[in-house]
């Protein structure tokens, strides 16, 4: 992450290992069950997108997952939740070690999600947007029976997803890390203009594109679910709380209560990461006790809008034992 010194605007760093894993021979990395380990973090929305996609498609057996803890330092994401502070499969403490095996002297951002080749310990890719798409298209051989089609209309999904990325997913970071009042207000205005537009769109539609859950919904939801816990206060995105926006709050609860979404979220880790790591924003490192999470289980009422969450597919089963997270309380 960085800030443009001239404008004061937050600038997201380029991805350092933007390879692909493909089934058609178009890359040096072939699709192969058991060859790769997805390294993610419960706190990170970009990783959460891939965690949800993997869950919905039923790829847990084909792609194992390591979970970095919510706290890290300048050395990168760390496996501080695992015994001995070491990932049990990769045998490393810091994710940076896998980046340096891939690119000796690596000096760019160490981000999650990252796909790591287990045998070599090398990061293969940290290109989250291509990865989530490739899980749907390149890994079809390993999808579960009843896996949904998350890309029924790619052009429409990318069109809505582009605005969500710039103004919402990245927009909250632009608010939080702006170093001038002007940069902050530009990001704030763009964020709320886009959320108002999305609220109007979703007032009469259960999902963003068509009548089923698509990748567009995954992209928007990972920011909404973190909104009140982190972005509203920590990043000063404070025109309203999510719970004060009736349409988006009901939409977010609808997905939270859908298998594959809420069962990937650990609110404690979300708060520990944002408030504990971003010392330029929260110098004390004090983590708030709130907000009250009881509302996530309140009925959402959006069934009346119709829609078929999984289309012709079926819901995923429960998360594997080692991947279960505590329910909000």
Condensed to tens digits (0 to 9), the pLDDT of residues 30-43 reads 999 999 999 999 99
Average pLDDT over residues 201-213: 98
**Is there a single domain that holds both residue 237 and residue 303?**
yes
Tens of pLDDT, residue by residue over 256-288, are: 999 999 999 999 999 999 999 998 899 999 999
- Residues 44, 175, 184, 207: which is the catalytic one? 44
**Percent of the chain having pLDDT more than 90?**
89
pTM for this one? 0.95
* Domain boundary residue, one of 111, 142, 173: 142
Q: Is 173 a catalytic residue?
A: yes
Domains identified in the chain, total number: 2
- Residues 173, 188, 207, 231: which is the catalytic one? 173
Tens of pLDDT, residue by residue over 140-175, are: 999 999 999 999 999 999 999 999 999 999 999 999
Q: Which single residue is written with the structure tokens 């160490």?
A: 110
Nearest residue to 247 via CA among 218, 205, 216, 213:
205
Does residue 178 sit within a domain? yes
CATH of the domain at 43: 3.40.30.10
Does residue 118 sit within a domain? yes
Task: Give me the domain span that covers residue 251.
Answer: 154-323
Tens of pLDDT, residue by residue over 93-134, are: 999 999 999 999 998 889 999 999 999 999 999 999 999 999
**Strand ranges (DSSP E) for the chain?**
2-3, 10-11, 21-22, 29-30, 36-41, 64-68, 72-73, 76-77, 114-117, 122-125
Is the CB of residue 55 less than 8 Å from the CB of residue 319? yes
Q: Is 175 a catalytic residue?
A: no
- DSSP class of residue 328 equals P
């Amino acid at each position: 992450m960085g800030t443009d010194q001239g404008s004061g605007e937050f600038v997201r760093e380029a991805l350092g290992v933007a390879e692909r894993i493909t089934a058609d021979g178009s890359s040096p990395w072939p699709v192969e069950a058991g060859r790769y380990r997805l390294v993610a973090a419960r706190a990170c929305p970009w990783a959460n997108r891939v965690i949800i996609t993997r869950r919905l498609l039923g790829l847990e057996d084909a792609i194992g997952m390591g979970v970095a803890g919510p706290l890290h330092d300048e050395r990168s994401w760390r496996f501080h939740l695992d015994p001995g502070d070491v990932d049990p499969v990769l045998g490393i403490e810091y994710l940076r070690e896998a980046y340096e095996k891939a690119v000796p002297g690596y000096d760019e951002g160490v981000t999650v999600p990252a796909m790591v080749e287990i045998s070599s310990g090398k990061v293969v890719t940290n290109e989250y947007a291509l990865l989530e798409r490739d899980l749907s298209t390149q890994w079809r051989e390993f999808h579960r029976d009843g896996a949904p089609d998350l890309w029924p209309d790619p052009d429409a999904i990318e069109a809505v997803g582009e605005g969500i990325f710039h103004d919402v997913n990245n927009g909250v970071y632009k608010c939080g890390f702006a170093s001038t009042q002007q940069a902050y207000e530009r990001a704030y205005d763009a964020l709320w203009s886009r959320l108002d537009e999305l609220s109007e769109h979703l007032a009469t539609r259960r999902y963003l594109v068509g009548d089923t859950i698509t990748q567009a919904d995954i992209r928007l939801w990972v920011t909404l679910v973190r909104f009140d816990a982190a972005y509203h206060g920590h990043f000063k995105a404070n025109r309203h709380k999510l719970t004060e926006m009736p349409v988006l709050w009901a939409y977010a609860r609808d997905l939270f209560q859908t298998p594959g979404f809420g069962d990937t979220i650990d609110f404690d880790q979300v708060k520990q990461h944002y408030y504990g790591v971003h010392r330029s924003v929260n110098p004390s490192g004090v983590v708030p006790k709130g907000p009250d999470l009881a509302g996530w289980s309140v009925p959402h009422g959006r069934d009346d809008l119709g829609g078929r969450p999984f289309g012709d597919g079926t819901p995923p089963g429960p998360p594997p034992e080692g991947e279960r997270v505590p329910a909000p309380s």
